[in-house]
């Protein structure tokens, strides 16, 4: 367990009341971390934290609702975590938005701005709020949940893919800046995962087959199958890895 031991660590995970974020929070807690559940609505956050505390022991999880589009909310998320647990060792930027599907010519300015704000700028805000203490301690792991969309063109979710490519570059830039202080920044690029967020892509059987059939594993992914990558990137097992994008996609990006 030493390579993956997160005992004594504190992790903040955005968008963690359900889906991939919740799975990541559960697995980080399983490996010893204290986790902060955060998403926009308080009720689901409280429920997710209660489930983790029931499974792994009281005090293992706390809920701090926050709207990632609000700089004030994000600062409160950081401040309340520091007040309760004194530190943040792991930050997982998982929350994202995608209010539009279709060709780039059809997207409104408001929709494009929301995608870039929530998927890139908000990540930048939160990372900058958390990083000073990591840099001071010369230890920390920042993980951004990106997407294989950031590696490929797509006629349906082009704006979303632009934001996810930007997240990969954000990680590379920060990895270069903070590497000398032993603060690592990486991204995870999932393929299609069965979450409510991506429901419009998998609830249609024909579209689901079109997306999964070319992949070597020929199936959709599950949230928990992304969580293991986050545990790896958060733990000592990945101590020599920074600025990288870890693709977890059933093999679709390498398939003909």
Task: Report, as residue numbers or ranges, the catalytic residues.
Answer: 160
> Based on C-alpha coordinates, what's the Rg of the chain?
17
Q: How far is the CA of 177 from the CAs of 93, 125, 180, 220, 242, in angstroms?
A: 18, 16, 7, 36, 11
> Are 233 and 246 a contacting pair, CB within 8 Å?
yes
* Bridge partner residues of 37 (DSSP): 13, 63
Tracing tokens 């000398």 back to the chain, one arrives at: 180
């Amino acid at each position: 367990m030493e390579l993956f031991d997160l005992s004594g660590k504190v992790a903040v995970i955005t968008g963690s009341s359900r889906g991939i974020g919740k799975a990541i929070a559960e697995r980080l807690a399983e490996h010893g971390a204290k986790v902060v559940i955060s998403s926009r609505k308080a009720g689901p956050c409280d429920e997710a934290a209660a489930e983790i505390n029931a499974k792994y022991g009281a005090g293992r999880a706390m809920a701090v609702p926050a709207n990632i589009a609000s700089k004030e909310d994000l600062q409160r998320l950081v401040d309340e975590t520091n007040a309760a647990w004194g530190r943040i060792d792991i930050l997982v930027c998982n929350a994202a938005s995608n209010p539009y599907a279709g060709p780039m010519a059809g997207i409104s300015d408001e929709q494009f701005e929301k995608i870039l704000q929530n998927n890139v700028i908000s990540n930048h805000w939160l990372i900058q709020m958390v990083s000073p203490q990591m840099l001071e301690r010369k230890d920390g792991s920042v993980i951004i949940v990106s997407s294989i969309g950031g590696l490929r063109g797509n006629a349906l979710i082009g704006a979303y893919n632009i934001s996810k490519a930007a997240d990969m570059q954000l990680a590379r830039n920060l990895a270069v800046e903070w590497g000398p202080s032993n603060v690592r920044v990486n991204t995870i690029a999932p393929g299609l995962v069965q979450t409510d967020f991506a429901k419009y892509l998998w609830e249609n059987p024909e579209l689901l087959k079109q997306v999964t059939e070319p992949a070597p594993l020929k199936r959709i992914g599950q949230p928990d199958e992304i969580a293991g990558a986050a545990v790896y990137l958060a733990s000592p097992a990945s101590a020599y890895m920074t600025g990288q994008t870890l693709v977890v996609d059933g093999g679709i990006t390498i398939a003909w």
